[in-house]
Amino acid sequence: MAPLCAHVIIAKNCAACGCAKLAKVSKSERLNIPMPRVKRAFDLVITPGGIRRRVIECRTAIYRCEHCGQIMAPAEQYHRLAKHFHGLMSWAMYQHVAHRLSGGTIEEMLREFFGLTVGNEEIHMLKSLMARYYSKTYRHLIQKILLGPVLHIDETQVKLRTGKGYVWVFTSMEEVVFMYRPTREGGFLQEMLKDFRGVLVSDFFFAYDSIDCPQQKCLIHLIRDMNQEILNNPFDEDLQSVTQPFASLLRTIVTTVDTHGLKRKHLERHSGEVDEFFNVLSALSFRSEPAQALQDRLMKNRNKLFAFIHHNGVPWNNNNAENAIKRFAYYREDTVGIMREKGLNDYLVLLSIYQTCRYKGISFLKFLLSRERDIDRFCAGNRSPRRRSAIELYPKGFIPPHLVTLRKPKISQPPNDSSTIGDDR
Ligand SMILES: [Zn+2]
């Protein structure tokens, strides 16, 4: 396998006494001492002109400590040397998250394009490592969304190997965060949103009702339900006496939105009409059950249907969250019942970053390749030039799965997920 880049792993201090006076042991002296150990690492170098493989051969130097006489090789760096570097991991996760390619397909592409053997299990490991690297980005996205003026929320079911669970999505206008929860119970939202000061946009799922902040319900959901009721009860005049005034009120307001955007200054002019609508509605009484039910629903949500007219930049629908969750739904189709929680959580970290990049109109691949962990700083282009080291190490405590049985460490955090990237299909 050529060409190779050679790299020597050096030590700065003696492993036994900590002394910095180390002398390299020459070849002729090495008869009875351990040979330098060699490992290969793999990377992909991606440029506008093409993608090429880089193989880095890393060899440990052998030292004698001038203080205590200990003969040693830099073991820690050697053990922690990553087999796959960031460029290769970025390329693989770009294929997996942006193009939904399975582990098996990525494995085959790496073999066919680059002559690299990266097993499915290793691809899971790459996902886990990348999720770990970008966990800071993920936390930052959550913070940013919770500090923002508007938060869209939605949830959907997911079938895991161990049973069903739920994936929640939280979005601002530009940031997206997906989160797995084992149940659909909304209790965690109270805690999570306790300091949120903006407007919450959601559908009519009851778990959102008790959250203490201004709320805007998705009016597209409401209109869809109204239309269905009209189809179910085509001759119900009572029902139409509710839906028609509602539709004409909303039409007037949407016309203002189309002309001026989501600006409170212009939208608040409609607050009189909104009050009038609810005052008239509350005084009506119906014999028709669907009309009564709709009346109850509208009155119950009175403060949550037109909240957007009292704020700047709050949409009257939940498209931002629903579009984001669609991305997850595509992935879900590919992995029904074969995912585990750990693998799903890793995936959701990367999907959150992918979807945020899309909403911000930046390249997910370029963001990954930059190694930057702050998306806003990446967007602004004022990244601090970080000196790239010639080699890359696994995080402390991480043992790659292919070495777990060899090393049997006391603390190991192998990505024990062997399914989430999906079977080869
Ligand atoms: Zn020493």
The answer to whether 355 and 330 are in contact (CB under 8 A) is no
pLDDT tier for residue 6 given thresholds of 50, 70 and 90: confident
Is residue 52 included in any domain, yes or no? no
Structure-block tokens of residue 286? 């119906």
Q: How far is the CA of 14 from the centre of ligand 1 (A)?
A: 5
The C-alpha atoms of residue 354 and residue 374 are separated, in whole angstroms, by 13
**Closest-CA residue to 329 (of 155, 126, 128):** 155
**Closest-CA residue to 418 (of 340, 337, 336):** 340
Class of residue 217 by CB neighbours under 10 A (exposed 0-12, middle 13-18, buried 19+): buried
Structure-block tokens of residue 390? 């010639």
pLDDT at residue 414, rounded to an integer: 44
Q: Which residues of 396-411 are buried (b: 16+ CB within 10 A; e: fewer)?
A: eebbbbeeeeeeeeee
Q: Which of 210-219, 271-280, 327-336 has the lowest mean pLDDT?
A: 327-336
Q: For tokens 């024990």, what's the residue?
A: 416
pLDDT tier for residue 82 given thresholds of 50, 70 and 90: very high
Q: How far is the CA of 71 from the centre of ligand 1 (A)?
A: 8
Is residue 202 included in any domain, yes or no? yes
Q: How far is the CA of 16 from the centre of ligand 1 (A)?
A: 5
- 375-391 average pLDDT score: 79
The C-alpha atoms of residue 180 and residue 156 are separated, in whole angstroms, by 10
Q: How far is the CA of 83 from the centre of ligand 1 (A)?
A: 29
- Spatial strand order in the sheet of 50-60: 4-9, 50-60, 38-47
**How far separated are the first and last CA of the chain, in Å rounded?**
30
Is residue 73 included in any domain, yes or no? no
- What pLDDT digit, counting tens, does each position of 150-163 carry? 999 999 999 998 88
* pLDDT exceeds 50 at position 371: yes
- 270-290 average pLDDT score: 95
Q: How far is the CA of 28 from the centre of ligand 1 (A)?
A: 21
pLDDT at residue 407, rounded to an integer: 58
> Across 62-101, where does the E strand assignment appear?
63-65, 71-72
The C-alpha atoms of residue 319 and residue 301 are separated, in whole angstroms, by 19
Q: For tokens 């592409």, what's the residue?
A: 109
Q: How far is the CA of 24 from the centre of ligand 1 (A)?
A: 13
Q: How far is the CA of 177 from the centre of ligand 1 (A)?
A: 49
Q: Which of 21-30, 79-88, 194-203, 382-391 has the lowest mean pLDDT?
A: 382-391
Is residue 196 included in any domain, yes or no? yes
Q: How far is the CA of 20 from the centre of ligand 1 (A)?
A: 8
The count of structural domains within the chain is 1
pLDDT at residue 13, rounded to an integer: 86
Is residue 177 included in any domain, yes or no? yes
Give the structural domain span for 273.
147-319
| 86, 359, 51, 90 alpha-carbon torsion, rounded to 10° | 20
Mean pLDDT (the chain) is 89
Is residue 215 included in any domain, yes or no? yes
The answer to whether 65 and 17 are in contact (CB under 8 A) is yes
Q: How far is the CA of 77 from the centre of ligand 1 (A)?
A: 18
Percent of the chain beyond pLDDT 90? 70
- 166 forms beta bridges with 157, 181
The C-alpha atoms of residue 251 and residue 349 are separated, in whole angstroms, by 39
pLDDT at residue 75, rounded to an integer: 79
Q: Which of 46-50, 119-123, 403-407 has the lowest mean pLDDT?
A: 403-407
Q: How far is the CA of 69 from the centre of ligand 1 (A)?
A: 6
- What pLDDT digit, counting tens, does each position of 85-95 carry? 999 999 999 99
Sign of CA dihedral 188, 190, 193, 199: positive
pLDDT at residue 391, rounded to an integer: 85
The residues placing their C-beta within 5 Å of ligand 1, an ion, are 14, 16-17, 19, 65, 67-68, 70
Q: How far is the CA of 26 from the centre of ligand 1 (A)?
A: 18
* pLDDT exceeds 70 at position 333: yes
pLDDT tier for residue 417 given thresholds of 50, 70 and 90: very low
pTM recorded for the entire structure: 0.88
Q: How far is the CA of 23 from the centre of ligand 1 (A)?
A: 11
Q: How far is the CA of 73 from the centre of ligand 1 (A)?
A: 12
Q: How far is the CA of 321 from the centre of ligand 1 (A)?
A: 59
pLDDT tier for residue 30 given thresholds of 50, 70 and 90: low
- What pLDDT digit, counting tens, does each position of 190-233 carry? 999 999 999 999 999 998 988 989 999 999 999 999 999 999 99
Q: How far is the CA of 408 from the centre of ligand 1 (A)?
A: 27
Q: Which residues of 122-137 are buried (b: 16+ CB within 10 A; e: fewer)?
A: bbbbbbbbbbbbbeeb
pLDDT at residue 221, rounded to an integer: 93
* pLDDT exceeds 50 at position 374: yes
Is residue 186 included in any domain, yes or no? yes
Q: Are strands 63-65 and 22-24 parallel, antiparallel or unpaired?
A: antiparallel
* pLDDT exceeds 50 at position 408: yes
The C-alpha atoms of residue 139 and residue 135 are separated, in whole angstroms, by 6
